[in-house]
Structure 1
Amino acid sequence: MKINFKNIGIAALFVLSAITRYSAQDYAVALKTPAVYNHYHLNPFLVNPAATGADGVSTILLNYRDQWAGFPNSPKGFTLGINGAPVNNMGIGGLIYSENYGVANRFIGQGNYAYHFKAGSNVFSLGLAGSYIQYSLDNDVITDPQHQGTDPTINEALNGEKYFAADLGFNVDIAQKYFLGVSIPHIVETALDNKSSSTSNTGNADRPVNFFALLGARFKLPDYRMVLEPSVGLKKISDVPFGTDVNIIAKMLDEKLFGGFTYSFGPSSHRLVFLGGVRLDKFKFFYSYDQSYADFQGYNNGSHELTLSVDLYKLKPKMMKQEPMPETATPTMEK
C-alpha cells in the first residue's frame, strides 16, 4: 500500500484549521475544561483515546498534580489510568479522575477504545471514549458567610451536575520516527439530569470545541544510548485562549533515565516545565515542576506533577496485522 504523506499532512492541517475556527461563545453552556496534564506527551492516552494500546504495552498509571502549590484551596487532581493492549490491533483502557478546587469538585469515569491498523511500517489508530462526569460543591459552602440560602444555583450544585461526554481521537505513527495525534474531547455532551440540562439546553452546536494535537519526532542516537523526542502540542480548551507547548525529552541509557522540559505559551500565559524520570524494570516514575511567568506566580510556589506507571505485559511484535504477502513456491530438487 503506497501512502502519500503529503496528502496526510494537508488533511491534518485542514482538520486543525477547521477546529480552531470555533471560539468560546457562552461559558455558561460550555463544558468545564478537560483535565490538565504536563505528562501527556509521555502518556498520550490521557488526552487521546486513539493512543490507547498503540505501543502494544499494557500499563497501569497513577498521576497526581498539585497546581499553584502553596496557594489556599488550589486545584489538586488525581488520576488512575489503565492503558491496555489485550489483543491484536485493539486498545482498551480507562481513567478515573478526581479533582478538587476549593469547594468545587469534579469526578470523571472514562472508558477508551482504539483500533490500530498497519500499512507498511506505519500504524494508524482511531479511538473513542465515553465519560461519566459529575461536578459538585462541598457541603462546607453552606456555612460560608457569603452564601445566601435561597440561591437555587448553589443549592442544586451541592447535589452535583451529571453529564455524559464522548471523545474522538486519531493517531498515526510513521515508521517509528514521526507521530501525529489529534483528539476532540467532549465532542458530544448530554446532561443526565434535569438541572444539568438547564446549562446545556442550547445544544452541542453552541459549545466551544476543545481539541488537543501532538506532533513530534524520534531521533535515535545509538552511539550515546539515547533517544531525543521533540514535539509540539497544540490545545484549545473551552474559553481558554489557544495554547502551544514546545516539548523535548531525552531518553537516556536505553530508556532508563529521562530528562526534558516544556515551554508553554499563549496570549495570556507563559510557563516553563522541567521534567525528570527513571525506569526500574517495569516501573517508571516521572516528576515535573512548572513555573509561570504570570503575575499570579508571586502568590504560589509553582505546580508539581508526579506519575508512577507499571508495565503489566507487552504483546509480541506481530501485534499489528497487515495484508499477508503472497507466498512463492520454493523449488526443490528431486532425487
Structure 2
Amino acid sequence: MKFKNIFLTVIAIISAQIVTSQEGLPIYTDYLTDNYYLIHPSMAGAANCAKVRLTARQQWFGHEDAPRLMTLSINGRIGDTPSAVGGILFKDKNGYHSQNGAYVTYAHHLMFSRSEVDLNMLSFGLSAGVIQYRLDETTFPSDGFDPGIDGIVQNATNFNMDFGFSYQYLDFYAHGTIKNVLKNSGVNNDIEITSNLRRFLLSLGYVYSKFGSEWSYEPSIMYQYKDGTKESSIDLNAKVYKQMDFGKIWGGLSFRKSFDGAEYFNDSGSIESQKLQQITPILGVNYNQFMFAYNYTYQSNAIVFTNGGFHQFTLGYNFGCKREKYSCNCPAVN
C-alpha cells in the first residue's frame, strides 16, 4: 500500500509539472517584491521611476532538475507622456520541461485628478510575447513503453498576449489581467487541456498609516482562475513598511490557498483530498535607488515532494526618477 501511495503521488506531481510547465510565466509571490508589472501589464510606467527587476527562484535545494525560474523586467514612462513601455525576459525549468520567453508591453495611463496632489488614475496595458517550449525525452524509456515518447528533444514556439487594467485612487488600488489570451499547444499537441493557458487575475489592496507616522500597512488579495483546468486560488497578503533616512525597510506574509483539491490514498487505503496551501514570509529593503528582497515559500500540505522550501531573491534598481507627485500611501506609484 505504501508503494501504491508513493506511485500515485509521483504520478500527480509529474502530471502537474506537465500541465504547468508550459503555462507561460509562472505566478508566484514575486509580484509582492515591488514587481506588480511582472503579472499586470497595466503597471508598466505607473511609478515615478523607471524600474529594473531581476528575480531568481530555486525550489527543492539538493534535488536534481528541481524547478527554477529567472526573470528580468524593465518598465518606465516615455518621457513626460502618459504612455509607457516595458519588457520581460524569463527562463523557467521544471524537470524535463523548460520554457524561455520574451514579452514587450505598451501601457497608457489616464489621469482623472484635478491636480497632481490626489491620485486618481486608470491604466491599460497590453503585452505581446514569444514563448519557446522544450521537452527533453532523450533519457526516457525507448522500449515501446509509451508510443507517445519519441526519445528526442521536442521544441515548439508560440505567440501569446496579456491584457489588463489598473485603477488607483489615493491609497486604494485594483488590477485585473487576462494572461495567455491565445491558445498555445506547446509540445503537448495531443493533450487538449494544455492548449488553453488562459488565466484571469484580480488584485485588490489598500495602504494606510497614521498622519505623520513612519509606518504604513498594506493588506491585499489576489484571486486567480485557470480557464483550462477550472482551478482557482487566492493569495491573502499583508505588508508593513517603515520609512528610513536611506529609503524603506519592509516585510510581509502571504498565504496562498487553492479552492480545488487532489485525491490520494492514505496509509489505511482510504481516499482523502488535499488542497494547495503555501505560506510565504517576505523581507525587503529600498536603499536609495536600489531594492533587495527575499521570500521563502513553505508548502504546508500533508503530501509533498519534499519538506524543503522555495527560495527567491529579487534585485532592483530605479532610475530616471521624478519627484513624488501624489499625497498618498502608494508605494507602487510614488
Normalized against structure 2, the TM-score is what?
0.76
Higher helix share: 1
Whole-angstrom distance in 2 between the partners of 1:224 and 1:132: 45
Q: Please state if 1:171 is matched with 2:166.
A: yes
Q: Where do residues 130-141 of structure 1 align in structure 2 (5 Å cutoff)?
A: 130-138=128-136, 141=137
Give the equivalent residue in structure 2 for 1:184.
178
* Distance of aligned partners of 1:217 and 1:115 in 2 relative to their CA distance in 1, 3 Å threshold: same
**Which residue matches 1:329?**
none
Q: TM-score, normalised by structure 1?
A: 0.76
Is the counterpart of residue 106 in structure 1 residue 104 in structure 2? no
User: Residues 104 and 136 of structure 1 are in contact (CA less than 8 Å); yes or no, is this contact kept in structure 2?
Assistant: yes
Shift of 1:300: 3.3
Is 1:271 paired with 2:278? yes
Identity %: 23
Answer yes or no: is the 8 Å Cα contact 1:71–1:300 preserved in 2: no
Shift of 1:57: 1.5
Give 2:204's aligned residue: 215
2:232 aligned partner, one-letter code = F
1:119 aligns with 2:112: yes
Tell me what 2:78 maps to. Answer: 86
Aligned to 2:31, what secondary structure does the other structure show? coil
Higher alpha-carbon deviation: 89-98 or 233-242: 233-242
Write the mapping of 1:60-71 to structure 2, written as runs, cut at 5 A. Answer: 60-71=52-63
Q: Distance in 1 between matches of 2:100 and 2:214?
A: 41
Deviations 1:250-286 (A, max 9, x none): 1112451011101111231111110001111111000
- Aligned alpha-carbon RMSD (Å): 3.1
Alpha-carbon contact 1:75-1:100 (below 8 Å) kept: yes
Q: Which has the larger radius of gyration?
A: 1
Change (3 A) 1:232 1:318: closer
2-structure distance, mates of 1:157, 1:250: 50
Q: CA deviation at 1:37?
A: 2.3
Letter in 2 for 1:137: L
Q: Report if the CA contact (8 A) 2:222-2:235 is conserved.
A: yes
In structure 2, the partner of 1:32 is 23
Structure 2 unaligned blocks of 5 or more: 1-17, 114-118, 260-274, 327-334
Q: Mean alpha-carbon deviation: is it higher for 178-187 or for 68-77?
A: 68-77
Question: What secondary structure, in the 3-state scheme, does the structure 2 residue paired with 1:232 have?
Answer: strand
Q: How far did residue 67 of structure 1 move?
A: 2.4
Runs (4+) of structure 1 exceeding 6 A deviation are 149-152
Alignment check: 8 A CA contact 1:163 1:196 kept: no
State the distance in 2 between where 1:283 and 1:69 align.
28
Match of 1:161 in 2: 156
Kept in 2, the 8 Å contact 1:273–1:288? The answer is: yes
Query: Please, which runs of 5 or more residues in structure 1 have no aligned partner?
Result: 1-26, 320-335
Q: CA deviation at 1:151?
A: 6.7
Aligned partner (choices 210, 215, 232) of residue 221 of structure 2? 232
Residues 40 and 308 from structure 1, CA distance in 2 versus in 1: closer, same or farther, beyond 3 angstroms? same
Aligned residues: 284
